[in-house]
Amino acid sequence: MAEAKRVTRPLSPHLQIYRPQLTSITSILSRLTGNGLIVGTMLAVWWLLAAATSPEYFAVANAVATSWFGDLVFTGSLWAVWYHYLAGLRHLYFDAGKGLDIPTAEKLGWACIIGSVVLTILTIILVQ
Amino acid sequence: MRYLTDRKRAMGKGSAHSGTEHHWYMTVSAVGLAFMVPTWIYIFGSALGGPQEEVLATFARPFPAILTALVIFIGMRHFAKGATMMIEDYAKGSARRALVILTISLSYAITATGLFALARIAL
């Protein structure tokens, strides 16, 4: 076979020339929430490790996890996980070749945004 | 000597060189996580903020311990592959390789830490 030629391929997506719209914003948010969840995951796993280690270590980790910073991270992560959850289900639905027409795709986008906020509030009430 | 022709080796692999393996893994783990995450959020959210004895009692029970282990393990594999895809979209060359290695290492470190903590609590 011939030697592979080096091709400079464009990087995706072209954010600079892309007009923001609901479908693109909800797609970007899906990626942001998924990757951002690493912060909450690290805090949660650290807190669990501290609980497994000693009362003194748990006191430190628990103070951070239940501080305003911990509340901010976990509340943000809760919204992020619900958003990523709904956007992920939408992704599976799109993968099945359904809901790809613009009116349906936009309705699904709003469902992700509104649904994630509603589920976040419901969860906070439920685990109080 | 190669026993497969070039054409045969390339068939079904596409430009990713690994076929639909990545996409299929993300699909499988997404469905798995979709079943587990709501219950896990409830368990974790209820345990968070409680005293240490309650936290230990929660994660010492079989169901919360097994569920948490699965969510950490599959969640971190899902994260590693998803984050790798993001890095591949925006970075190239050595920066790309360094970030991908860092992401995969971080995911495994978090998985190991979480499983260690669970083992210590539950066993």
Is B26 contained in some domain?
Answer: yes
pLDDT score, position A2: 59
Is B15 contained in some domain?
Answer: no
Provide the 10 A C-beta neighbour count for residue A107.
12
Q: Which domain holds residue B46?
A: 22-122
Contact A48 B59 (CB under 8 A): yes
Is B63 contained in some domain?
Answer: yes
Whether residue B40 lies within 8 A of chain A, CB to CB, comes out as no
The pLDDT of residue A15 is above 70: no
Confidence of residue A3 (pLDDT cuts 50, 70, 90): low
pLDDT score, position A20: 83
Radius of gyration of chain B (CA): 19
What are the chain B neighbours of A65 within 8 Å (beta carbons)? 48
| Calpha distance A51→B97 (Å, rounded) | 35
Is B8 contained in some domain?
Answer: no
pLDDT score, position A1: 52
Find out whether A117 and B66 touch, Cβ atoms under 8 Å.
no
Gap between the terminal Cα atoms of chain B: 52
Gap between the terminal Cα atoms of chain A: 64
What does the CA dihedral A113, A116, A117, A120 come to, rounded to 10 degrees?
Answer: -170
| Selection from A72, A70, A89, A98 nearest residue A30 by Cα | A89
pLDDT score, position B14: 80
| Selection from A43, A22, A49 nearest residue A105 by Cα | A22
pLDDT score, position A125: 95
Topology adopted by domain A21-127? 3 helical TM bundles of succinate and fumarate reductases (1.20.1300)
What are the chain A neighbours of B121 within 8 Å (beta carbons)? 48, 51-52
ipTM of the modeled complex: 0.89
For residue A29, give every residue at least 6 positions away whose Cβ sits within 8 Å of its Cβ, in sequence order, or none. Answer: A83, A87, A112
More confident residue, B16 or A21: A21
B101-117: pLDDT as tens digits: 999 999 999 999 999 99
The pLDDT of residue A11 is above 90: no
pTM above 0.95, yes or no: no
pLDDT score, position B7: 84
Whether residue B117 lies within 8 A of chain A, CB to CB, comes out as yes
Which region, left, alpha or beta, applies to residue B17 given φ > 0 means left and ψ of -120 to 50 means alpha? left
pLDDT score, position B6: 83
Is B10 contained in some domain?
Answer: no
**Domains held by chain B: number:** 1
Where along chain A do its domains lie?
21-127
CATH code of the domain covering residue B100: 1.20.1300
Contact B79 A47 (CB under 8 A): no
A33-90: pLDDT as tens digits: 999 999 999 999 999 999 999 999 999 999 999 999 999 999 999 999 999 999 999 9
What are the chain A neighbours of B115 within 8 Å (beta carbons)? none
Which residues, given as ranges, of chain B have pLDDT below 70?
none
The pLDDT of residue A16 is above 90: no
Is B59 contained in some domain?
Answer: yes
Is B55 contained in some domain?
Answer: yes
pLDDT score, position B18: 80
Q: CB-based burial of residue A116 (10 Å sphere; 0-12 exposed, 13-18 middle, 19+ buried)?
A: buried
A54 φ/ψ angles, rounded to the nearest 5 degrees: -160, 160
Is B107 contained in some domain?
Answer: yes
The pLDDT of residue A123 is above 70: yes
A112-121: pLDDT as tens digits: 999 999 999 9
Contact B34 A126 (CB under 8 A): no
pLDDT score, position B41: 97
DSSP B18: S
* Interface A:B, Cβ pairs < 8 A: 92
What are the chain A neighbours of B105 within 8 Å (beta carbons)? none
